[in-house]
């Protein structure tokens, strides 16, 4: 149906004679960002991911492209300035999955004083190069505000919303377009240095079959598993101990009418966001607690659900209970920080550690989704001496796949004329997920019947096939929670029907 761009699977242990420039371990935002930047500079790149793209931290964020207003309290001015500059770059390069969002910050007099918040917002405006977003201002809430009547004063500022998992997939597609080979469901099980090269063994997570890859340098971008990979796969190299910080979110039916998000202060000096989510829901998060043990075991605890419910109920007129929670998720950040810091105070900036004592190894610690592109540029500069002939930075002015248009409204208008038979809700979702890639999904289709079977909630066979063939999707979870968020709307029977189709498609 679609041209097959997925990389071929090599299934034997015979040595591949090709020597690649760079092998990247980890298919989160940092890994795919480095893959795209490196491939765009002319390097021969291979990326391997044990599970699905964005299957861990990069799909469990608060879905924000932001400078990090609260980081100002920890004097992380450089991080905030860097992130705010990237906010404008990403708004321009990915208008389908990244959109401006208005935030309101209600003031509680017994917490941070009003002058301090106003000063912080002035600084936030000053540090940013605002092109598309308005400046902050003070507010008075009216009686029809969704907030409790006791909350009369507050502030307003702007940041941006992002579909985090789709960002990872689109950056991986950008990497592939520049020649990178992207392997999902491929685990790096061994890496040895010989004759100045890395000899790496990859194992297919589904079949168990292995393949051998050679590379001049390796990047360990395994996120929360960076030290586990370092100690088990790359034991010949030194590595830094990391601190794992778990952040949890809950999703509830929509708490209020309006497109604004809220930043809520809590008495423990943390802040929690309440964000409009997938039209009919509100996303509330995050908690921040140290995690000890395997990041794969991270899960929200009952007390964390209660914590988020209590904060929401202290601010909003609409009261919610545990029974209202329709979805939860937990993400784990790998951070380098001092032992005396609380989890919420640990820096979100990144650290890059390059070891050239043998075959080069670059390890990635920390980072945030907003600054992935800058991290990638920094990583390639670290590798400049290893690859002196590579090209110059290029990604700042490059639209992500599907992002070559000005506004969602203008693209939606154009596509409605071209595909007048498509339901408005479906086309709107597609525009905000795929942008101009919608036209790839619809090649040769001229009616709703041409989309094939509908599995539920507007998910048609045509879209499923596209996601499998072009976006590395394998499972119903890949499709319903990372390529889309339709898992919020799918029944058990609908999910079973989708899984049956995927099984039949794989075996045919």
End-to-end CA distance of the chain: 14
Please tell me the distance from the alpha carbon of residue 419 to that of residue 396, in angstroms, as a whole number.
32
Per-residue pLDDT, 342: 54
Per-residue pLDDT, 241: 79
* 123-133: average pLDDT: 87
Please tell me the distance from the alpha carbon of residue 223 to that of residue 229, in angstroms, as a whole number.
10
Share of the chain residues as helix, strand and coil, in percent rounded to the nearest 5: 35, 25, 40
Beta bridge partners of 190: 201
- Regarding pTM above 0.85, the answer is yes
Q: How many CB atoms lie within 10 A of CB 2?
A: 13
Taking only the tens place, the pLDDT of each residue in 259-303 is: 999 999 998 888 999 999 999 999 999 998 999 889 999 999 999
Write the burial class of residue 415 (CB in 10 Å: 0-12 exposed, 13-18 middle, 19+ buried): buried
Please tell me the distance from the alpha carbon of residue 65 to that of residue 368, in angstroms, as a whole number.
9
* 99-121: average pLDDT: 91
Class of domain 408-507: mainly alpha
Q: Residue 429 belongs to what H/E stretch?
A: helix 424-434
Task: Give per-residue burial for 210-249: e unless 16+ CB within 10 Å, then b.
Answer: bbebbbbbbbbbbbbbbbebbeebbeebebeebbbbbbbb
Is 70 exceeded by the pLDDT of residue 474?
Answer: yes
Per-residue pLDDT, 71: 82
Task: Give per-residue burial for 67-102: e unless 16+ CB within 10 Å, then b.
Answer: bbbbbbebebeebbebbbbbbbbbbbbbbbbbbbbe
Calculate the CA 46 to chain-centre distance. Answer: 20
Is 70 exceeded by the pLDDT of residue 16?
Answer: no
Q: Which CATH number does the domain 93-162+243-335 belong to among 3.40.50.2020, 3.30.9.10, 3.30.450.40, 3.40.50.300?
A: 3.30.9.10
Q: Helical H runs in 27-185?
A: 29-40, 77-93, 114-127, 164-177
The percent of residues in the chain predicted with pLDDT above 70, rounded, is 94
Mean pLDDT estimate for the chain: 92
Taking only the tens place, the pLDDT of each residue in 300-336 is: 999 999 999 999 999 999 999 999 999 999 999 888 7
3-class secondary-structure state, position 84: helix
Per-residue pLDDT, 6: 42
Residue 49, preceding peptide bond in cis (omega within 30° of 0): no
Question: Half-sphere exposure of residue 92, counting CA atoms within 13 Å on the CB side?
Answer: 12
Would you list the domain boundaries of the chain? 19-57+166-239+347-397, 93-162+243-335, 408-507
Please tell me the distance from the alpha carbon of residue 455 to that of residue 161, in angstroms, as a whole number.
28
| Architecture of the CATH domain 19-57+166-239+347-397 | 3-Layer(bba) Sandwich (3.50)
């Amino acid at each position: 149906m679609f041209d097959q761009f997925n990389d071929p699977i090599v299934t034997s242990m015979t040595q591949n004679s090709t020597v690649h420039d760079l092998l990247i371990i980890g298919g989160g935002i940092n890994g795919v960002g480095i893959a795209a930047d490196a491939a765009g500079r002319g390097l021969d790149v291979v990326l391997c991911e044990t599970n699905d793209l964005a299957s861990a931290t990069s799909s469990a964020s608060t879905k924000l492209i932001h400078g990090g207003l609260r980081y100002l309290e920890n004097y992380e001015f450089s991080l905030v300035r860097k992130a705010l500059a990237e906010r404008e770059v990403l708004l321009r390069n990915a208008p389908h999955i990244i959109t401006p969002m208005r935030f309101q910050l209600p003031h509680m007099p017994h917490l941070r004083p009003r002058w301090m918040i106003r000063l912080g917002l002035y600084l936030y405006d000053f540090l940013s190069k605002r092109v598309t977003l308005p400046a902050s201002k003070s507010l008075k809430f009216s009686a029809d505000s969704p907030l409790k009547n006791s909350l009369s004063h507050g502030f307003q500022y702007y940041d941006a919303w992002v579909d985090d998992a789709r960002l990872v997939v689109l950056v991986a597609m950008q990497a592939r377009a520049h020649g990178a080979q992207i392997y999902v469901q491929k685990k790096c099980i061994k890496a040895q240095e010989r004759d100045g090269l890395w000899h790496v063994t990859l194992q297919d997570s589904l079949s168990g079959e292995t393949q051998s890859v050679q590379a001049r340098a390796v990047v360990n971008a395994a996120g929360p598993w960076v030290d586990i990979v370092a100690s088990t796969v790359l034991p010949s190299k030194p590595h830094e101990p990391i601190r794992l910080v778990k952040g949890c979110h809950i999703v509830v039916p929509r708490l209020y009418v309006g497109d604004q998000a809220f930043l809520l202060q809590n008495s423990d000096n943390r802040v929690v966001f309440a964000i409009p989510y997938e039209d009919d829901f509100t996303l509330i998060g995050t908690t921040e607690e140290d995690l000890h043990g395997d990041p794969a075991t991270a899960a929200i605890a009952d007390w964390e659900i209660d914590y988020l419910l209590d904060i929401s109920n202290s601010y909003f007129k609409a009261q919610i209970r545990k029974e209202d929670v329709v979805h939860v998720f937990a993400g784990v950040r790998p951070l380098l920080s001092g032992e005396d810091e609380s989890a919420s105070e640990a820096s979100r900036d990144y650290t890059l550690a390059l070891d050239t004592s043998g075959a080069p190894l670059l390890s990635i610690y920390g980072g945030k989704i907003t600054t992935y592109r800058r991290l990638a540029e920094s990583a390639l500069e670290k590798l400049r001496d290893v690859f002196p002939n590579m090209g110059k930075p290029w990604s700042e002015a490059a639209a992500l796949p599907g992002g070559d248009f000005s506004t969602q409204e203008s693209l939606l208008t154009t596509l409605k004329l071209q595909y007048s038979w498509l339901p408005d809700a479906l086309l709107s979702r597609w525009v905000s997920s795929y942008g101009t890639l919608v036209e790839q999904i619809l090649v040769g289709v001229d009616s709703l019947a041409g989309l094939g079977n509908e599995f539920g909630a507007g998910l048609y066979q045509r879209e499923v096939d596209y996601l499998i063939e072009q976006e590395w999707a394998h499972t119903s979870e890949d499709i319903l929670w990372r390529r889309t968020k339709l898992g919020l709307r799918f029944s058990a029977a609908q999910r079973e029907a989708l899984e049956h189709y995927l099984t039949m498609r794989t075996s045919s």
